[in-house]
Chains A and B, each alone.
Chain A
Amino acid sequence: MSNRFKSRYDDDINLFEGRWHLAQYAILMALLLAAPWLLGTYYLGELTAVLVWSLAGLGLMLISGHTGQVSLGHAAFMAIGAFTNLALMLRGWHFLPALLASAVTSGVIGAIISRPILRMSGIYLAIATLALSIIIEDVAIMAEPITGGVAGVFAPPIALFGMEIDRYATPEAFYYLCLAVLVLVTLGYLNLLRSASGRSFLAVRDSEVSARALGVNVARAKTLSFSLSCAITGLAGALYAHLAQAVNYESFLVLISITLLLQIVIGGLGSVHGAFFGAIVVVLLPQLIAIASDYLDNTAGIQIAAYPGLDTALFALLILLMVIYEPRGLYGVWFKVRTWLQLFPLYRKGMFRRTRTYLKTERQR
């Protein structure tokens, strides 16, 4: 399957590399569409959460993974998206225009702040966005008419195409809604990546000077990437609000910003797959721990549930191992396994050996 002969330029332009590739994704899509029948209500809810966090991860992946500008503050844009959506719906807007407004508001706010923020780079950018996230926490408390202050706001039910969509009353409908948004965004994302804008993002990530020399307006590329990234994250925030049913400032703490970045790192920075892999880990790890904890309690009488924050700690341990042994994240693991399968039995041990690198100063750019 790796010996595919390309005969037209379209083979490189198309989203899917040939029939087999298309078939794989068709099967995945069919499974996702059949999920409400395959899974119970509880796990369908968890799968919905995976979709929402994938969407948020995609948003961050665009600016951090593909444009190379690390943001430690994306929960702020989830907050903007969520509060915009709920505030508008509570004032009588329909869901879809309100969802669109979430994306637009987050995107526009992202565009406005991107100019001063994206003049910074590396570690300075990271801390600036981190500060932004902390500031938004307090703003969410202070802007009471919109955000409901400390108490927050409840999500009203969604009326769409004559249906009432509610996370608990009609979980399948809400699942399909999230799936539809995610698929549309992913397609748009992939389209962008295979055309000039996406390439200019990669160029900015890898070498700003040569991007500039090749005609890329670096400031503009960063602004576009950042505001699109904020818009996607805003969408995720709006969906999250309906998933959680109620949000307040605590829903978008700075810790969420940090976790979101860790999520895409564990998934694999710079790959679309990574956003999805990361979301799966973030959502399912606590589940696995809960199951393991029950099992240990029942069989051996060990109560690991007595240690709060164990899931975060295990997540952190996973990150630690990933950074040391597989910097390309779960995507890297997946890539290696795939290559191994494709080349079987010809895989050589040194195939993915990393070359020795030395740290160079990042004070010059």
Chain B
Amino acid sequence: MSLLQVKDLSISFGGVKAVDGVSFTVEPGEVFTLVGPNGAGKSTIFNLISRLYEPSGGQILFDGQDITSLPAHKVAGLGIARTFQNIELFDHSSVLQNLLIGRHCRRNTRWFEELLFLPKVRRSEREHRLLVEEVIDFLDLAPYRDKLIAGLPYGVRKVVEIARALSSQPKLILLDEPASGLSVEETQNMAWWIEDMQKDLGLTVLMVEHDMSLVSRVSNRVLAVSEGRPLAMGTAAEVQADPKVIEAYLGTEATS
């Protein structure tokens, strides 16, 4: 069964249809990439899936469960984690703290237990820490563990954001432009990590990305969207060769 099913999803902002009848399915264990020109509605689709936006039509099913009207804070607990295009980290906290907040959806203590710091809370803190340390090892973040986010270079912040998403032990991870603003080397590393996530952790990845070399390298399937509508679907090479996609990127004059 598909892990994520998006059916006929639509949303409009003040009359403009940002996403207009998009449907696709993401199979367990694959890397599925959304491509398209700026303003095509890719990030909006992400925001709809993570329930930050209210769709005006359509349905989202995750793991067979309808999440179309679930409150946003319940999405993480089901196993969907995400990163943001413009990095939304907790700037005044350390890397470790950020990753521990990633564990929030797995918390099993109540505030009054935490107030007294019962042995149960300490146990749970140790367990959270253990899992976070695995993520730190996985993404080579050990040198930055106790550093404040505010002082970290951009490339490291991107990785920390992925680490924070991984800390919640997701089944599906949404990566919103993981390589934007990264150097060639950093993009290379990112590709390896995405491959590792898929192969070693068995994660399903849904990604928005512009860097076609990265897209071709890691994606199993690619969906091109333009002006809120799906254009073409297939492997990276197929989609790149599709005349409709070329037209959407370069404008009508180029093809005529």
With known contacts A213-B72, A214-B168, A206–B104 Cβ distance under 8 A? no
Contacts of A211 in B (CB 8 A): 101
Q: Which of A180-198 contact B (CB under 8 A)?
A: 188, 191-192, 194-198
With known contacts A196-B114, A207-B88, A214–B93 Cβ distance under 8 A? no
- B96 interface residue, CB < 8 Å from A? yes
Q: Which of B108-143 contact A (CB under 8 A)?
A: 109, 111, 114-117, 121-122, 125-126, 129-130, 133
Contacts of B117 in A (CB 8 A): 191, 194-195
Q: Are B111 and A206 in contact (CB under 8 A)?
A: no
Contacts of A191 in B (CB 8 A): 114-117, 121
Chain A: residues with Cβ within 8 Å of the partner, total of 31
Residue of A9, A203, A209, A216 near B84 (CB, 8 A) is A209
- A338 interface residue, CB < 8 Å from B? no
- B212 interface residue, CB < 8 Å from A? no
Contacts of A205 in B (CB 8 A): 90, 92
Q: Which of A193-236 contact B (CB under 8 A)?
A: 194-200, 202-203, 205-207, 209-218, 224
Total cross-chain contacts (CB, 8 A): 107
Q: Are A13 and B73 in contact (CB under 8 A)?
A: no
With known contacts A195-B109, A195-B114, A197-B114, A214–B104 Cβ distance under 8 A? yes
- Bound-state CA distance A213–B173 (Å) is 12
Which secondary structure dominates chain B's binding surface?
helix
- Bound-state CA distance A203–B103 (Å) is 12
CB nearest neighbor in B for A196: B107
Contacts of A215 in B (CB 8 A): 73-77, 104-105, 168
Residue of A13, A202, A224 near B92 (CB, 8 A) is A202
Residue of A188, A196, A209 near B88 (CB, 8 A) is A209
CB nearest neighbor in B for A190: B117
Which size class do B's interface residues fall under?
A: 35 or more
Residue of B73, B100, B115 near A212 (CB, 8 A) is B73
Q: Are B88 and A10 in contact (CB under 8 A)?
A: no
- B50 interface residue, CB < 8 Å from A? yes
Q: Are B102 and A214 in contact (CB under 8 A)?
A: yes
- Bound-state CA distance A10–B117 (Å) is 13
Q: Are B97 and A213 in contact (CB under 8 A)?
A: no
Q: Are B111 and A197 in contact (CB under 8 A)?
A: yes
Q: Are A206 and B92 in contact (CB under 8 A)?
A: yes
B252 to chain A: closest CB distance in Å? 34
Q: Which of A82-104 contact B (CB under 8 A)?
A: none
- B61 interface residue, CB < 8 Å from A? no
- Bound-state CA distance A40–B89 (Å) is 50
CB nearest neighbor in A for B78: A215
- B221 interface residue, CB < 8 Å from A? no
A104 to chain B: closest CB distance in Å? 13
- Bound-state CA distance A281–B82 (Å) is 44
Among A10, A195, A197, A270, the one with the most B-chain Cβ atoms within 10 Å of its Cβ is A195
A60 to chain B: closest CB distance in Å? 18
B41 to chain A: closest CB distance in Å? 18
Q: Are B130 and A9 in contact (CB under 8 A)?
A: yes
With known contacts A200-B104, A218-B73, A12–B89 Cβ distance under 8 A? no
Chain A 325-339 against B: per-residue CB contact (8 Å), 1 yes, 0 no?
A: 000000000000000
Contacts of B76 in A (CB 8 A): 213-215
Residue of B81, B103, B107, B111 near A224 (CB, 8 A) is B111
Q: Are B114 and A13 in contact (CB under 8 A)?
A: no
Q: Are A192 and B115 in contact (CB under 8 A)?
A: yes
Q: Are B84 and A210 in contact (CB under 8 A)?
A: yes
- Bound-state CA distance A348–B133 (Å) is 32
Contacts of B168 in A (CB 8 A): 214-215
Known: A188-B116, A194-B125, A214-B101. 10 other contacts (CB 8 A): A13-B125, A195-B114, A199-B97, A199-B101, A200-B104, A202-B90, A206-B93, A207-B88, A213-B50, A214-B168
B residues engaging A (CB < 8 A)?
A: 50, 52, 71-77, 81-82, 84, 88-93, 96-97, 100-105, 107, 109, 111, 114-117, 121-122, 125-126, 129-130, 133, 164, 168
Q: Nearest 5 A-B pairs (CB), nearest first?
A: A215-B105, A215-B76, A210-B88, A206-B90, A195-B114
